[in-house]
Structure 1
Amino acid sequence: MWAKWVYRGLRNIAMDSNSLAMPMSDPNAWATAMNNLGMAPMSMTGQPIMSDFDPSLGMMTGIAPMNPMMPGLGIVPPPVSQDMPIMKEIIHCKSCTLFPPNPNLPPPATRERPPGCKTVFVGGLPENATEQLIVEVFEQCGSIIAIRKSKKNFCHIRFAEEHTVDKALFLSGYRIRLGSSTDKKDTGRLHVDFAQARDDLYEWECRQRMLAREERHRRRIEEDRLRPPSPPPIVHFSEHECSQLGEKLKDDSKFAEAVRVLLTWVERGEVNRRNANNIYSMIQSSSSHIRRLMNEKAAHEKEMEEAKEKFKNALAGILVQFEQIVSVFHAASKQKAWDHFSKAQRKNLDMWRKQAEEIRNIHNEELMGIRREEEMEMSDDDMEDAPESKDSDDSGPLAQVEALKEENDSLRCQLDAYRNEVELLKQEQGKAQPQRSEEDATRQQQLSFLQQALQGMQKVQENNFLFQEKESLPEKGPPSPVKSEREALLVGIISTFLHVHPFGASIEYICSYLQRLDTKISTTEVETLLGRLPCTFKQELTGVGASLEKRWKFCGFEGIKTA
């Protein structure tokens, strides 16, 4: 609406004012007026009348803008939209001229842009076009690397940058004419489109790989920064390292590092028959450090007790001083001294007394809490000592019998282990003939030592057995093996379980099965129950050497068959 008013005003000025002598047909005057209003200079038919108008600046080059705040102009025009279509113009070169296509025609079709495209296809060239002419036209878009011209009317142009391809596509649809010639061989219509080139694709892939490497490197640096430090490497097992590790295990300052190495070696499976004695000695050295650790713990506990006692004494001294301060405030609040203080002084004394009493009460409660904790610890210790004394009173021949049973079992296991080792040594001696006399001597010594150990352990086992029989003679009658309905149910379940396991099962395996039914069942309870029924369940040792394992088997049917 305002554009129409401006147009009418300019028309009246052009018709009435003879001093200006500016007819309506003069395009410069009309363009000046439209430029001052921030509009693109258009003619009455809607065609552009000025070729050097810059829509992004809202003015023409060479024409000064009009001040929008000048009197007589009461409206500021809106800015020019950036979505307006770009007007193509005639391009003059040294040896040719480019004419823009019809703006009413649809834009030329283009193929999909390849990744990293720097090469364009240019078709519709004049027959008389040369490579120099192509450089002259397209060098305005950007620097050219290479031109591959065909004998026909097309060529391929490779630019140095990717964004210059978009500028080259702007020339698609232009009519080109060489000089002022109208010959058909000197004219043509340009068609510019994306072209797929191996060099462009290779450069694009190299750039992507470089970016991926940088991203991986950046991510690796970030992961390394956030990753916790790795533990120190563990040396491999050897005789030299084994001897050094034994010395380190004896040193208190290097014990932590040495025991970690020993643990790694044992977990890796470095233990064999050759180095078993060395590993055993190192494990024994590790066990000897338990006393040192207990002494350190006792020392730290003693220091903690001393610190607690010191803190308690200091707190008691602080409470004594608080009591003295509170007694001072109470003495000051009596009638003899209270009447001589002013009102403000009385207020301050009362406030200070309340603060001192609150702090004293807090510290007093803290001290009482420490004393209550000490009394509770002492009562707990007394309660722990009481059952021990009762057990010591009750323990007599029964405790000795239990201890002898355990010792008998351990000796039996060691006896079986020695027997297995003797059999293995005999088999090795029978299979492989000895090559050296020293080896024979050592083996004979080992055999004699093992046989002596077997004889001694058999004697100890017989003595223990006789002692058990003597202890069991005063009993009036054999106790009932099943004492409750729960134990009878357990016997039935265990019998069924072991019947389906003909090779037997360990006590841990049996308890893991029973604990699915009742979580309160313990291993000792099951083992004592099985031990009371020797006619139904029997315990056997399986394995060789260090892999010995106790297994319980069901033998109830065997007793029926023998009966």
Structure 2
Amino acid sequence: MDHYSRSRSRESSRGNTYERYNNYSSRIHSSSSERKHEDADHHSSWNEGHSRTQNDIDDVNDEAALYFTDCILYPPQEGIDRPYGERAKKKPIGCKTIYVGGFPDPLRHSLHRVESILHEVFTTNGGKIDSIRSNNRGFCHIRFEKTESVEMALSVHGYSMLIKQDRGTPFKFRLTVDYSESHGDWEEYEARQVIAKKLHLDSCPISSVPGYNVREADKVQQNLKSDEKFEESVVILRYWLNSGAMERQKSDTFYNLLQVTHAQVKRLDDEKTMLKSEFDEIKNRFKKRTGELEKMFDHLVKLYEDAKKQKCWDRFTRAQRKSIDGWLNTAKENLPAPKPWFGMKRQSTEMDIVDQEKQDSKNAVVAGFSHVKRIKTENKDQQTDVNETEQYKEFKISNLEENLQHMRQQVWELVSKMQMKDTTIQTYQEEIEALKQAEDKKDATKMKKQKEKVIEEKDVKLACMVANFLRIHPNGAAEKMIFEYLCECDINITMEKVCTLLKRFPTLFIKHSKSKDDDTNVYWTVFSLNEVE
């Protein structure tokens, strides 16, 4: 007790985090000696594994490593790390809490970062986490929302963790994961058992049932429509009904809840019908494929039996014969079992033989007669078995022929369909080529029109400039004067183009000459409004 008191005095100076852990440890364990024993076991396992971590972690297979945001987990090496079963303690009833230890000293003062790293690791390798209780002694306790998450979390026991650092060398250590006793887990397990016993359930999905009120009733009504919360909502509704929460004033509310469950019944019935149809379809496919495989095995058995005939068997070597015998036995093992009615008569005959042997001990004469009769009966039964076997073989052969004919028909249908598809594809290709050609022609025509439009716009601009020049010269101007004027305006044009432009707009430019046959003394004027009138 003195050592424990001294340790408690040292722990009180380490902050509120360690005080929370002390409260938790005193709530879980009935005596401090048990807690110290558990801590000693976990710290001894850390010291035992940490001595090998620094040398072995670099030899771990990187392909099996688990990568996270701030750390990497390497699996334990075969032949070096002890299996988990040697370290694990007995799982407590209703356990949802695990012990995680093995942190080096520098990390014991970075509790917030350790909690964030562990939350990411065990959410991935366990499930949703309810709470994380950490301290500065190199270990913590993680409580999950579901008990199934504990087994998944224990799978990373013995893994080597490498925590990244912005500056300095990364931290390398080996994780120790084990079950941990928790008073809260035990109380929750007991509460579930009480509810399950009252409702006659094998297991209860919830640990506590809220009291009835309008808000909780609305919440249950919404959860009844969800597959995830359906079971919990049904348990709560059953508990209310069995505990007398339903009164006359609340009958409408409970009726609405039951009506919602009836809608779920319809949906589940439809889903069940759909699953049954899918199962029947899979079963039919299985039967069909099994029949095909049995036929193939039967063909293989006949093939190997033909190979074992004398004229072929003598040509094989001893090793080849041994291989063929093995193949034949393997094919026979996969053949279907013989029909049960093939041996029914034989079995009844053997029973008759046993009875007849009892009578032989009493009367030798009757025994001799029965012996003869038995031989005749056996011969008759054997002949019947042979006939039935032949009929069965003929039946299988006819089935094979029918299946072969059916397969041929399917092949011809597939070939015809492929030919039709090829024809359709060729037609589509021709149509695409025609469309491409039409599109090319359309683009060429469009380009030509655009070019003509540009040329026309240029001619109109030149015509406007010539018209302005002729307006200044009301008595007219020669073609040479017009050409010189356009050249002075920095327009790249020839004399021939000027003549062509003047002749292109006869309604705008008027040609004059001193004589009809004289083309040298020609001058041009622009139209006037008087001439239009």
Per the TM superposition, whether the score is higher than 0.5 is: no
- TM-score (norm: length of structure 1): 0.24
The TM-score with structure 2 as length reference comes to: 0.26
Greater helix content: 2
Q: Which one has more relative contact order, counting CA pairs under 8 Å at least 6 apart?
A: 2
